Amino acid sequence: MKKSTKIFLILGIIFISFNLRAPITSVGSIINLIKGQFNLSNSIAGFITTVPLIIFAIFSPFVSKINSKLGYGKTMMGGLAFIFIGELIRSYTNALGLFLGTAIIGIGIAIGNVLIPSIIKLKFSKNTGVITSIYTTSMCILAAVGSGISVPLVNKFNLSWRNSLCIWSILTLITVFIWIPQLKNNNQVKMSNNNTENKQNSSIWKSPLAWWVTLFMGIQSLIFYCLVAWLPSIIISKGMSSEFAGTMSFLFQLVGLPATLLFPIIADKFKNQRGIATLSSAIYFVGMIFLMVFKSTSLIIISLIFVGIGMGGSISLAIAFIALRSPNDKKATELSGMAQSAGYAFAAIGPFMLGFIFDFTSSWMIPLIILNFCILLLIGCGLKCGKNEVVDDFLEDLTVEKC
């Protein structure tokens, strides 16, 4: 691939990543305004964040089949179209449209979620760690901006919450124009030809290693989206202002950027990633414990610095594991689809469940305890999927046993 072509593709990946989290994270800081507009309970409001996760789980397995027919250029462009249309419907219709538009956005994001790791494996196999780092860092930067900018747009620029959410459609349009050169390249993420026929036909869903990667993806996603949906409310419950809560929602994602940038690069240099996965989750756990007990402004900031670093490391490692545990781009596509589908199905219960528990108990203590338990599970999954193995190792053994 020519240098100029690589540059355009990397630029396209960066702008695609901008659209994969910000349309969701931008909701959390202004969720109280949306609740007031439509008279929603906490559990139903939490479902706004849950809807795209359900869509990820349902739609992700079909992305590779669509890609095999259309190619990644056209498939991704279709994803951007879904995101743009969904943003308009979510912002300017009624309560039903709020959830319908969010679901349509979820379809578009699911396409990007599945395809980008596969494209990285296909086009940048020798620089997987670096490109994954660029991708995840770009995604997290805009996720942080999405959390932090919503309240200022409403309070300081006098935008309605509808206009505040719809502003992301401008970014989607810009991304459409940047992605246009990729339409000329109609290649799908291709199957590699260096595997045996039996291994090609073996289902990745039978691989224990693939399930550990999927659980790692699902657990870190559950924690992340719970925090995106409810961190501002948790902070407000400690007696803080909504402006401070929105700023903290921005901070916890911002401070995770160094970890998001460095962890995939470091992980790519080692055959075994168990140590760095454990370190990331341990930092996460410490931060969540601090968040449970601290109530002063300065101590909340300290706790969210730890939470942000752990969050950034776990997100980037979840994406990196898809490439690192795959022997080729075909298996990366399959593993990506599996991790996005089953993983997000698990994650989808989080925001709704935490909102329901808060409605029942009027306290965020139990939800925070649940999140800490999830981080302990994340440590165990990291020890399993951090081993120096690839999914075909198991599938090959399974084939031999059947023979």
- Number of domains, the chain: 1
What contacts 24+ positions apart, CB below 8 Å, involve 93-101?
94/38, 95/38, 95/40, 98/34, 98/38, 98/48, 99/47, 99/48, 99/51
Mean pLDDT of 38-45: 82
How far is Cα 374 from Cα 290, in angstroms, rounded to an integer?
16
Two tokens, residue 360: 């029942």
Question: What residue numbers bound the domain in which 382 lies?
Answer: 3-190+198-393
Averaged over 317-339, what is the pLDDT? 85
Domain-located, residue 355:
yes
The whole-angstrom separation of Cα 92 and Cα 82 is: 16
Give the pTM. Answer: 0.79
Residue range 161-210, pLDDT digits in tens:
899 899 999 999 999 999 999 987 655 544 344 444 444 556 788 889 99
Residue 69's pLDDT band (boundaries 50, 70, 90)?
confident
pLDDT, residue 292, reads 93
In this predicted structure, the answer to whether residue 320 has a pLDDT above a threshold of 60 is yes
Q: d(Cα 56, Cα 13) in Å, to the nearest integer?
A: 19
Lowest mean pLDDT among 241-250, 276-285, 355-364: 241-250
CATH assignment of the domain containing 276: 1.20.1250.20
Is residue 305's pLDDT more than 90? Answer: yes
- Whether residue 161 lies inside any domain: the answer is yes
| Lowest mean per-residue pLDDT among 18-27, 44-53, 279-288 | 44-53
User: Considering the chain, what is the average pLDDT of its residues?
Assistant: 86
Predicted local distance difference test score (pLDDT) of residue 403 = 43
**Mean pLDDT score, 27-54:** 82
Q: Which helix (H) or strand (E) holds 187?
A: none
Taking alpha carbons only, the member of 392, 244, 255, 356 closest to residue 313 is 255
In this prediction, what percent of the chain has a pLDDT beyond 70? 93
Decide if 402 is inside a domain.
no
- DSSP character for 181? G
Tell me what pLDDT residue 201 has. 54
User: H-type helices in 156-196, by residue range?
Assistant: 161-166, 168-179
Query: Does residue 32 form part of some domain?
Result: yes
Residue 64 lies in a domain: yes
- pLDDT tens figures, 129-160: 889 899 988 998 888 788 778 878 888 888 88
pLDDT recorded at residue 323: 83
**Interacting residues of 309 by C-beta distance below 8 A, sequence separation 6+:** 255, 256, 258, 259, 280, 283, 284, 287
> 399 in a domain, yes or no?
no
Predicted confidence at residue 359, as pLDDT, reads 85
| pLDDT over threshold 70, residue 401 | no
pLDDT reported for residue 343: 82
Is residue 122 situated within a structural domain? yes
pLDDT band at 39 (very low <50, low <70, confident <90, very high): confident
What's the angle, vertex CA 23, arms to CA 304 and CA 109, rounded to 5? 110
Work out the average pLDDT over 336-362: 85
Q: What is the pLDDT of residues 54-68, one digit of tens each?
A: 898 899 888 888 888
Q: Given a cut of 80, is residue 395 above it in pLDDT?
A: no
Evaluate if residue 215 carries a pLDDT over 60: yes
The full DSSP string for 100-118 is HHHHHHHHHHHHHHHHHHH
Tell me the mean pLDDT in the region 369-375.
96
Q: In this predicted structure, what is the pLDDT of residue 285?
A: 97
Q: What is the pLDDT of residue 185?
A: 63
Higher confidence at residue 332 or residue 102?
102
Residue 401 lies in a domain: no
